[in-house]
Amino acid sequence: MVPSRSATAGSTSMYIGRFAPSPTGELHFGSLLAALASYLDAKSNAGIWLLRIDDLDPPREIPGASSKIISTLETFGLLWDREIVYQSQRYSHYQEALARLSALALTYPCNCSRKAIKARSGHSHYDGHCLIHKVPHCSTKYCWRFNTQRHSISWTDGIQGLQSLHYPQLADFILKRSDHLWAYQLAVAVDDQQMGITDIVRGNDLLEESAKQLALIAALNLQPINFNHIPLALNPQGQKLSKQNLAPALSTQKITSTLFRALCLLGQTPDKALLQADKSELLKQATLDWNVNRIPLKYPDNSFS
């Protein structure tokens, strides 16, 4: 077994990874790449792999999507090791974290619309307007933002290498929306900590979100996490392979060949004999052979045509 790039040298703590899909549609092939990479990285490090359903945004959720996601993972043999966590059942934990940040003077209310932000700055990055000009007492609709204090965040991603984000890309971001729904960054920072997550393997469309999560980890004095972002899967039009861009749902036919194709795109070199194996045998061998250092920075052109 080749040690994972995400493993911390000299660490004796157990590797705990997770896959955390949003129930806004069924899993597609890009989802499978992320789930498979996360699963194999955990298992190859004799670790635990967890499943969390990130159901934070009810207006965008598709009825029945959670159960279909769970069923699809089971069909592909990607089985989690503990009870499934649902973010919709954890709002009190996010409120506690917001209160802690507020006690540290790291939050403030904001009633700026996207239109107002763009009109002032010419772009969508928040300019700190409500940090300087306080929200009036008569305002009834506002979000809560995290005060980054315009600090830069630098970290080393296990696949993408050295990363750095600073203002205006790392602007004061939303923790709780004006419609009272919780924002992704706060929820995942809290949940990953309480689930004991040590390593995250996911798509690099979330690479910049890692800076925000790291800022919250530092502010809340949480345990550090190793991040590993696999390449972004693109459709023939150059768009992210996503539910929003109408990526087709994973077919539950030809499970082994689909897993085999995913392994190849992830830079692994599975024996072609595994195409004749069942999914459990393929996953067992893939775990033994897993080498995260082989994951490419970009998939070959036309991989998802």
Domain assignment present for residue 152? The answer is yes
Secondary structure class of 167 (helix, strand, coil)? coil
Q: Give the pLDDT score at 172.
A: 97
- Would you state the pLDDT for residue 53? 98
Beta bridge partners of 143: 110
Token digits of residue 31: 């989802």
Residues 134, 140, 172: CA angle, nearest 5 degrees: 45
Is 300 a domain residue?
no
* pLDDT score recorded for residue 241: 60
DSSP readout, 13-81?
A: SPPEEEE---SSS---HHHHHHHHHHHHHHHHTT-EEEEEE----GGGPPTTHHHHHHHHHHHTT---S
Per-residue pLDDT tens digits for 161-191:
999 999 989 999 999 999 999 999 999 999 9
DSSP state of 273: G
Within-domain flag for 214: yes
Task: Please count the CA atoms within 13 angstroms of the CA of 215 that sit on its side-chain side.
Answer: 29
Q: Is residue 10 part of a domain?
A: no
> Does some domain include residue 44?
yes
CATH of the domain at 146: 3.40.50.620
* Residue 304 confidence (pLDDT): 66
**What is the DSSP track for 184-221?**
HHHHHHHHHHHTT--EEEEEGGGHHHHHHHHHHHHHTT
Q: Which domain holds residue 172?
A: 16-294
pTM for this predicted structure: 0.91
Please state the domain count of the chain. 1
- The DSSP bridge partners found for residue 174 are 145
Q: Is residue 201 part of a domain?
A: yes
Q: Residue 249 domain-assigned? A: yes
Calpha distance 221→100 (Å, rounded)? 11
CA dihedral angle for residue 57, residue 58, residue 61, residue 65, rounded to 10 degrees? 110
Report the pLDDT value the prediction gives residue 7, as an integer from 0 to 100: 39
In a domain, 304, yes or no: no
Instruction: Collect the ranges in the chain with pLDDT lower than 50.
Output: 1-12
Q: Which two tokens stand for residue 133?
A: 């000009």
